[in-house]
Amino acid sequence: MKPSRQTVAVIALAVLWCATVLWGIGQLRERRQADVLLQNKYGRAFYETMQRTKNVEALLSKGLVSGSPDQMDAILSDLWYNANSAQENLSQLPVSHDVVARTSKFLSQVGGYAYTLTKSNKTGALSDKDWGTMQQFYQTSVSLNKEMSTVERESAAGAFHWTEVQSGLNRQLPQGSVSSADNSFRRVETQLHELPVLVYDGPFSDHIEQMEPQGLTGGTVTLDQARGIAGRFADLGGVTVQQTALANEVRGKIPSYSIQLRTGNKPADAITVDVSKKGGQVVSLLNPRTVSTTKLSDEQALARAEDFLNSRGLTGFVPTYTLRGQNISTISFAYKQGNVMIYPDQVKLQVALDNGQVLGYEALGYLTAHHQRVIAAPVISAAEAKSRLSPRVQALSERLALIPTSSKGEVLTYEFKTRLGDDVFLVYINTQNGEEEQILKLLNLPNGTLTL
């Protein structure tokens, strides 16, 4: 019996409906994927803009402190690059041009200022007029970054989504999420006052990527020896190791055994200790347990870190910088030889603020750079080096410090802690020729100190 025409029509309509539904679902899925890609694109552009504007602020502040022609040339070159990069990424955001016009103008002027000054300033010393211009740019960049951070928080809180902003702009609708984003950037604009008319994680840690290890001595250790070293080094916090096993073998600059000390059945009940095959030195330690409360002060955490180093035979270290987060204190130490801070020889520890247990240890810098150095006596005095500082800064303290150079070498310097207004900088003056080698800006945050 043949189906009636009505039945055939119903079946055809059902097939067509199903096909339409499937097509619609496919289109919806593709649209969502496209929205995600677009959202990620705009998100990257915004965060890159924000990172570059932060770099602009840091570089402007360093320019205010620098008294060296060579340093100033490097600062101005980086300033030009970061200002232009920030402006390029800003132009990729789906925000109307009139909303970001002043921000774009500011970045353009900073880049033009840096370029012009590089070409016209042959002595390296800023005139009073140029210094005043740079100071005004710096103050403006501080305001800019404060408002950019507010925009970041609003975006993270869902006040607007970049793809919605884009679709709204395409329809020219000044409402909803579009006005939210526009208002956020308009607030940025209001912080940029009339512009002048133009004509980590402690200092010195990046150098270790380019060096060959010098701190490893002794013969090759076996796997059983590495297990014993890991067990003796780890801070177990009163628990018992139930199993010691080889997790994997680490290749690279310092070939190591990665030893896992299991203290229970949970994923977090595993302490990982990397032990170098040459010399049996502990390269790193990681205990992933969660720390839910803070009971110890920063001073108590520092005392616990120092006790840990001394008990493991790691003596001669001086604490440099700290950072606190998630109820854990991260403390950087540098080796001290005689009266000289040896910044290339660094170790970092993480101390749990609930009971003082050492949860993290990293000694890649120390094992890469450490060796007994013959340090030449300074040619110029500390007083003479101090006279090379910019007359606009106030010197707070001084000490000898060995710092790495970009050419994989090391140079002995006087480290001057200085102040300009509310900002604090470390300025490094070469002890042999009085040249300004490096400037670092100290950021005193609620949870510790960082350097730029």
Q: Which of the residue ranges 59-73, 90-104, 117-131 has the most confident prediction, judged by mean pLDDT?
A: 59-73
Spatial distance between the Cα atoms of 25 and 14, rounded to a whole number of angstroms: 16
Does the predicted model carry a pTM greater than 0.75?
A: no
> Which pLDDT does position 199 carry in this prediction?
39
CA distances from 305 to 153, 308, 311, 408 (A): 35, 5, 10, 30
**pLDDT, average across residues 6-15:** 60
Residue 276, pLDDT above cutoff 60: yes
For residue 176, pLDDT over 50 is answered with no
pLDDT band at 261 (very low <50, low <70, confident <90, very high): very high
Beta bridge partners of 250: 256
One-letter amino acid of 203: P
| Helix/strand/coil for 76 | helix
Tell me what the mean pLDDT of segment 364-381 comes to. Answer: 91
Question: Which residues, 6+ apart, have CB-to-CB distance to 158 below 8 Å?
Answer: none
- Mean pLDDT on 111-133: 73
- At 150 the pLDDT is 78
Helix axes 162-171, 5-65, angle to 10 degrees: 110
Mean pLDDT of 249-278: 87
Q: What is the pLDDT of residue 179?
A: 47
- The reported pLDDT for the residue numbered 239 is 87
Kindly compute the dihedral angle of the four CA atoms of residues 303, 304, 308, 313, in this order, to the nearest 10 degrees: 10
Q: pLDDT higher for 355 or 135?
A: 355
Is residue 368 within 8 Å of 215, Cβ to Cβ? yes
Sequential DSSP letters for 234-278: S--TT----EEEEEEEE-SSS-EEEEEEE-SSSTTSEEEEEEETB
pLDDT at 47: 78
Domain boundaries, given as residue ranges, for the chain: 38-190, 208-369, 382-451
DSSP 312-339: TT--SEEEEEEEEETTEEEEEEEEEETT
Highest mean pLDDT among 17-26, 185-194, 300-309, 326-335: 300-309
Residue 444 has pLDDT above 80, yes or no: no
pLDDT for 191 equals 52
Higher pLDDT, 413 or 77: 413
Is the pLDDT at 431 greater than 70, yes or no? yes
More confident residue, 39 or 178: 39
Predicted confidence at residue 149, as pLDDT, reads 81
Quote the CA–CA distance of 88 and 39 in Å, as a whole number.
Answer: 18
Residue type, 297: S
Fold of 208-369: TATA-Binding Protein (3.30.310)
Confidence (pLDDT) at 126: 74
Q: What is the spatial distance between Cα 197 and Cα 112, in angstroms, rounded to a whole number?
A: 11
**Is the sign of the CA dihedral 37, 38, 43, 46 positive or negative?**
positive
Query: Is the predicted pLDDT of residue 125 greater than 70, yes or no?
Result: no
Find all residues with CB under 8 Å of 96, minimum gap 6, and list them: 169, 182
Going by DSSP bridges, is the β-strand pair 340-352/270-276 parallel, antiparallel, or unpaired? Answer: unpaired
Least confident of 319-323, 335-339, 377-381, 397-401: 319-323
Q: Name every residue whose Cβ is closer than 8 Å to that of residue 345 and which is 6 or more positions away in sequence.
A: 215, 334, 335, 365, 366, 369, 370
Q: What is the mean pLDDT of residues 199-205?
A: 47
Q: What type of residue is 272?
A: T
* Confidence (pLDDT) at 201: 45
Predicted pLDDT of residue 386: 95
Give the chain's mean pLDDT: 79
Q: What is the DSSP letter of 220?
A: B
Which parts of 91-240 are beta strand (E)?
none
Task: Write the CB contacts of 317 (distance below 8 Å, at least 6 apart in sequence).
Answer: 306, 309, 333, 334, 335, 336, 347
pLDDT of amino acid 404: 86
408 backbone φψ class: left, alpha, beta (φ>0; ψ -120 to 50): left
Beta strands 358-362 and 340-352 are antiparallel
At 101, the pLDDT band (50, 70, 90 cuts) reads low
pLDDT of residue 205: 52
Of the pLDDT bands very low, low, confident and very high (cuts 50, 70, 90), residue 138 is confident
Q: Is the pLDDT of residue 167 over 90?
A: no
Terminal CA-to-CA distance of the chain, rounded, Å? 85
**What pLDDT sits at residue 157?**
72
- Over residues 26-77, the pLDDT tens digits come to 555 655 555 555 556 667 777 788 888 888 889 888 988 888 887 888 888 8
Q: Which residue has the higher pLDDT, 371 or 38?
A: 371
What is the share, in percent, of the chain residues with pLDDT greater than 70?
Answer: 72
Look at residue 107 and tell me whether its pLDDT is greater than 80: yes
- Identify the weakest region by mean pLDDT among 220-229, 278-287, 436-445: 436-445
- Predicted local distance difference test score (pLDDT) of residue 445: 67
